[in-house]
Structure 1
Amino acid sequence: MNAIWAEGPEPIVTETQFGRENANANASFKTASTLPRNASPERPVLRPILDNSFNSPVTPSPAQFSRPSTSTALPALSLPGLGQFKAPKPKAFKSPLLPQTAAKAAFAPSPLNPHARQGMVSSSFVTAGTQHSFAAVGGTPATPLRTSVTGFVTPMRGASRSRPAFKTPFKAGMKPGEPGRVRLEEEEKEKAIAKVKVAEVKQPTPIKSQQPSVSARTKAFFDLAPRPDRKTLPSSGLVPQEYTAQDLETMGIATSELTQITPTMAMYYSFHTPSATPPSGTSPSSMNMLGPAAALEELLSRGCTLATKPWVDNHWALILWKLAGMACLEPEREGDPGTKRWCWNEVMRQLLYRYERELNRGVRPPLRCIAAQDAPASCPMVLCVSNITWSEAAMTEDGMPIPPHPEFELTDGWYRLRAQVDAPLARATRRGLIRVGRKIGVVGARLSTERKDASEVLEAYNSTTLVLSGNSSHLVPWHAKLGFQGAPWVSTMNSLTADGGVVAAMDLVVLKTYPVAFLEFVQDENGEKHREGPRDERGEAEAEEKWKRRRQVHESKLREEYAKKEVRYQGYADRLERRAGAFAPGADAEAPDEIEELYDELDDPAGAAAVLSRISSSSAGWLARLILDRVEKERERSRDEIEQELRTMCPPREVRNFRILVVQDACTRRRGANRSAQLTVWDAAGMPLEVGGRYSVTNLIPTAQSSWMDREVGSEIYMCTRRESKVVRLL
């Protein structure tokens, strides 16, 4: 009966069957729901899945009943003698917790929404009593489930909110395909084509001349955009000292006044009026003096709040020195008030330009970066000699005169620093090759400062100097641009001197090569190093093999000594363990103080036997444990100790290889390649140096200075590389 109820279709009850089971028609009739239930009806595993596939989600039925049928209602049951039974009509459940109008609200699609599947909902909700023909006959009827869509359902969050109507994001007439949208797309294409054309016509601007962009909030005090008619000094066609002093006086240039303008004397010069021509009928005493103080007031009145008195004084001196030279270089412009340079208005224009570029835009000049140690002093740059001071003449102890030595003051056009020079630069200064106003190219300079920390250039004048070398300094044309340069100057052999210091860069051609040689530096007992060699490759290989054999001999001896000592102490431990017997100290027990003394006495093999014979059993156990512990630690330390002793007995070799090349200048300027050089290239093993190859070599130093020859044809000089030198193949 349970199997038919659970698995088979609903039984069709006939009168015969009912008569056999109920002999007395008047007997009390019991429905299937009122019969005693021994166990829960069994359900196949796939039954819930099949039921869910045909029924819409509803409130679960009681566990003892199967999934309700898809039929809307069961037919009335007609039994003989009992009349016609009808299942009670289900009523919709109304929750007392919800308002009466909640049943009419529209819910979103959900497994709990009765509106989700309109075709199945109306037929899915049946009462528990209608699941079988006998379910509603007699007994207490089961609680009916709702059959209408207006019954109780679980309310969803936000179900009462209605979605807003869709609004298009496009404006009127701007939808795809409409005239406004088509016209906008055509305008965008025209703008893109115009930008491409401008980029093709515009010439690329060098990186050094690019100015940092100014934000919209920053006020500009000077327009840094170059004028279209601007000319550089090389393209101007001007020639220095083309006009004599008499010619300048004839053209109205006060040469006696301008020749006195130097960076030192310019601080005491002032203009009388903003223009160069004072009004008629006025005396100089009644005019205002326009000097550095007036320039500072003018800058502050224009809003240049970052300007200070030291900054204005520094630039005032350098601007006046430059304008005095430009007035003498191009005197014809001084007759026109619009192009006149030697006047107050031009000085203020120059100050505003420097304020905008340096203080407002933050572009720092080279010497300011070097003084602040934000750029290395070894970078190639062009500087101008703004002043030369000479030391006093002196005498040596032998009575030999010491000639005065010069000290330079160099400027990058914005700031000044002092510079120490070597003997070749001092000789060139005495001969007049270097004087105030000359420009020199410097590379490989060093910064010497008395301060530990970096400082601003205006504060570092008395404590910071540049150290120059003659072999890395060159005279450059008068129109060379001041400041950092992109590449160092290549020196030629005719410009080098034996005492000129480091040579920054050379362009050389290899004429001859010698085999690689080796030098060994050995330290004697006094700590002084002397060198052995040079050796060729065969000699170096023999010396290396000899050193390895000697090291192996010393290492084997040391290891044998450590092994013998370990075996001896291991024997002591074995004898002590036998003497101790069943020695088992507690976990917290500590060794007696005498154990350390007994261990020290074992160091002497002659007295070790006496110690082992007189020791007690407990002490023997403690001493054996101590010996085993020490042997293990000694074994771990033996490797390091052996290495340390080997460094003392057989120290590592200090060997450097080198190769001598005969080289010549690859190109010359005014003089021919009269000189050749023997160049010693250190660490040349494995370096491909071929005869006829052209190489760029940096950081060379002169050697064998007393053997240097003069500049005649066939003369020879000597140089070598340093650790920071680089040899690069060009051709």
Structure 2
Amino acid sequence: MQISPCRTMLSVRYPFQHQRKNYKEYFGGPPCFKYLTEHVTDDVKLMDARRAEKFRFQHMDTGAEEFQKMLLTCGASLSCATKEWVSNHYKWIVWKLASLERCYPTRVAGKFLTVDNVLEELKYRYDREVNHGHRSAIKKILEGNSSPSLMMVLCISAIYSCPYQNNNKLEVNKVDTNEDNSGNQSFSATNRNMSANIELTDGWYSLDASLDVALLEQLEKRKLFVGQKLRIWGASLCGWSGPVSFHEVSGVVKLVVHINGTYRARWNDALGFCKHVGLPLAFRCIKVSGGRVPRTLVGITRIYPILYRERLPDGRFVVRSERMERKALELYHQRLLETFFLRKHVLRHDCWRNHVAKTTCKHICVPIIRTM
């Protein structure tokens, strides 16, 4: 893809010169929380998406506004690197870098969440999105260029209480150092008829999601938590009427997800649209009220013969096999032919009688003329 000469390349990382490593290749394994209290600061321990938006580097007193000025100084356009754009990406960059330090404290503690890394991430995202025109999964969905029913991997970034009970306020629990409780936020709903709301992100943008009753039960059991990756398939949008910007969707557009199309993703799965087709859902895993099933596998064990049911004039029904139905159809056609020929014969007989009657009438009515 050619870059317009009026656009300035900001990042030295993109386009990549070598193939990128995934988390498993780079870190060698899943996260470890054994040495969390020894190597990680309190800001990193308690960091979530909500705190990341207001986070400031204390030694330089630098926040989202200062990073916007840095980005503009590097050559970014003010019409593209707006305050909303920078604040949004600053939020997800800070949360990602802090989460990596929390997940791998002995290796990267104090090395990822720095001013230089955040600025370089902003430059990288500016080049990808503005200069190269790349868009994330959620942005494509909001702009109407991709279907929300496609399979994608999203991360739970926040869990909200029921909007009609607590006015959409975030319930934040005390963060434990234990792996199972790290970053978890509990949710309790007294009315199961009201759907729960969570926030999902693809790492670039976020979108509120509405859960069905079955997923709400999983949420109450703490099987869904902040930071967990979900593979979502067959979702739909609620409240979407046309292309909309990312900063205009809050409280308006929601992603409706169901348990039949929601699966737990691996810790190292990349966020965004999936390039492969998902596995079929087993019959024993299908929930009755869990929404549509994106894909399943069916085996034919027996083929039953076709049966035909006919309603008689007196209101009774007769069930026939395919062979008996064929015979009944032949008899029906035979009766139609007999009725047709009978009516034709009667019609010809009536025409002959009418012809004879007219001829007789002519002979009777002809006057006798005598000549003189």
Q: TM-score, normalised by structure 2?
A: 0.72
Pairing 1:330–2:116 present: no
Give CA-to-partner distance per residue, 1:86-120, whole Å, 9 cap, x none: xxxxxxxxxxxxxxxxxxxxxxxxxxxxxxxxxxx
> What does 1:159-308 correspond to in 2, within 5 Å?
212-215=1-4, 218-222=7-11, 223-226=13-16, 228=18, 230-244=20-34, 247-251=35-39, 253-254=40-41, 256-273=42-59, 288-305=60-77, 306-308=80-82
Give the aligned partner of residue 474 of structure 1: 263
Secondary structure at 1:462 match in 2: coil
My pick for the range that moved more, 216-225 or 461-470, is 216-225
Partner of 2:281: 491
Structure 1, residues 120-141: CA drift from partner, whole Å, max 9, x if none?
Answer: xxxxxxxxxxxxxxxxxxxxxx
Structure 1 residue 385 and structure 2 residue 156: aligned? yes
Verify the 8 A CA contact 1:425 1:469 in the aligned structure 2: yes
1:358 to 129, 135, 149: 129
Aligned CA distance change for structure 1 residues 543 and 227 (closer, same or farther; 3 Å): farther
* Distance verdict in 2 for CA 1:330–1:513, change over 3 Å: same
2-side partners of 1:321 and 1:550: how far apart? 82
- What is residue 171 of structure 2 aligned with on the other side? none
Instruction: From the superposition, tell whether residues 361 and 250 of structure 1 become closer, same or farther in structure 2 (CA, over 3 Å).
Output: same
The answer to whether 1:501 aligns with 2:291 is yes
Alignment partner of 2:230: what SS? Answer: strand
* CA drift at 1:549: 10
C-alpha change, 1:500 and 1:335, in structure 2 (3 Å) is: closer
Tell me what 2:200 maps to: 410
Following the alignment from structure 1 to structure 2, what is the Cα–Cα distance between the partners of residues 481 and 225? 19
2:53–2:91 contact (8 Å) kept in structure 1: yes
SS, match of residue 386 in structure 1: strand
User: For structure 1, which runs of at least 5 residues remain unmatched after alignment?
Assistant: 1-211, 274-287, 395-400, 523-531, 556-731
Cα deviation digits, residues 460-479 of structure 1 (max 9, x gap): 23221112121111111111
Alignment CA distance shift 1:533-1:293 (3 Å)? farther
Distance verdict in 2 for CA 1:498–1:330, change over 3 Å: same
Q: Would you say the 8 A contact 2:100–2:108 is kept in 1?
A: no
Paired residues of 1:491 and 1:505 also in contact (CA < 8 A): yes
* 1:350-372 deviation line (CA, Å, top 9, x unaligned): 11111100111110111111111
Which residue is 1:537 aligned to?
Answer: 322
- TM-fit CA distance, 1:218: 3.8
Q: Which amino acid counterpart does residue 300 of structure 1 have in structure 2?
A: L
Distance 1:449 1:302 in 2: 38
- SS of the equivalent of 2:84 reads helix
Answer yes or no: is the 8 Å Cα contact 2:101–2:109 preserved in 1: no
Instruction: Return closer, same or farther for 1:380/1:462 CA change in 2, 3 Å cut-off.
Output: same
Q: Closer, same or farther in 2 for the Cα pair 1:547/1:406, shift >3 Å?
A: farther
Using the TM superposition, give the Cα deviation of residue 519 of structure 1 relative to its aligned residue in structure 2, in angstroms.
7.9
Alignment-mate amino acid for residue 322 of structure 2: E
Pair 393,296 (structure 1): closer, same or farther in 2 beyond 3 Å: closer
What CA distance in whole angstroms lies between the structure 1 residues aligned with 2:212 and 2:336?
49
Matched letter for residue 101 of structure 2: A
- For residue 322 of structure 1, report the CA deviation from its aligned partner: 0.7
Whose RCO is larger (CA < 8 A, sep 6+)?
2
Partner deviation per Cα, 1:323-364 (whole Å, 9 max, x = no partner): 11111122234467xxx1111111111111111001111101
Q: Any conservation in 2 of the 1:262–1:317 contact (CA below 8 Å)?
A: no
- Give 3-state SS (helix, strand or coil) of 1:311's partner: helix
Q: Number of aligned pairs?
A: 307
Checking the alignment, whether the CA contact within 8 Å between 2:140 and 2:146 is kept in structure 1 is yes
- Separation in structure 1 between the aligned mates of residue 107 and residue 160 of structure 2, nearest angstrom: 34
> Alpha-carbon deviation of 1:457?
2.7
Check conservation: 1:387, 1:409, Cα contact below 8 A. Answer: yes
Matches within 5 A, 1:610-629: none
> RMSD of the alignment, in Å?
3.4
SS in 2 for 1:506: coil
Measured in 2, the distance between the counterparts of 1:450 and 1:534 equals: 49
Q: Equivalent residue of 1:505, what SS?
A: coil
Matched residues in 1 for 2:134 and 2:299: separation? 41
State the SS of the aligned residue for 2:295.
strand
Secondary structure of the residue aligned to 2:9 is coil
1:512 counterpart residue number? 302
Change (3 A) 1:378 1:541: farther
Where has structure 1 moved over 4 Å in runs of 4 or more?
A: 227-230, 237-241, 517-520, 532-536, 538-552
8 A contact 2:196–2:212 mirrored in 1? no
Equivalents in 1 of 2:122, 2:233: separation in Å? 30
Letter paired with 2:297: D
Q: CA deviation at 1:446?
A: 1.3
TM alignment of 1:302-701, pairs within 5 A: 302-305=74-77, 306-334=80-108, 340-391=111-162, 402-403=191-192, 405-451=195-241, 453-486=242-275, 487-517=277-307, 536-538=321-323
Distance in 1 (alpha carbons) for counterparts of 2:44 and 2:335: 80
Q: Cα gap change, 1:375/1:541 in structure 2, threshold over 3 Å: closer, same or farther?
A: farther
Secondary structure of 1:321's counterpart equals: helix
SS at match of 2:266: coil
Q: Aligned partner of 1:454: which letter? A: P
Q: Mark the structure with the bigger radius of gyration.
A: 1
Q: Secondary structure at the match of 2:294?
A: strand
Q: CA deviation at 1:259?
A: 3.0
Distance in 2 between residues matched to 1:377 and 1:230, nearest whole Å: 27
Shift in Å, 1:300: 1.1
User: Which residue identity lines up with residue 330 of structure 1 in the other structure?
Assistant: Y
Separation (CA, whole Å) in 2 of partners of 1:384 and 1:533: 58
Letter in structure 2 aligned against 1:269: F
Q: Is the 8 A contact 1:382 1:485 kept in 2?
A: yes
Residue 392 and residue 221 in structure 1: after superposition, are their counterparts in 2 closer, same or farther (change >3 A)? closer
Distance 1:236 1:301, change over 3 A: closer
Q: Give TM-score, length-normalised by structure 1.
A: 0.38
Q: Counterpart of 2:305 in structure 1: which amino acid?
A: P
The 1-side partners of 2:30 and 2:334 are apart by: 74
The offset of 1:381, in angstroms, is: 0.8
Q: CA deviation at 1:320?
A: 1.1
Q: 1:229, CA displacement in angstroms?
A: 8.1
1:352 partner amino acid: K
Distance 1:237 1:344, change over 3 A: closer
Alignment of 1:4-23 (within 5 A): none
Quick one: distance in 1 between partners of 2:309 and 2:72? 68
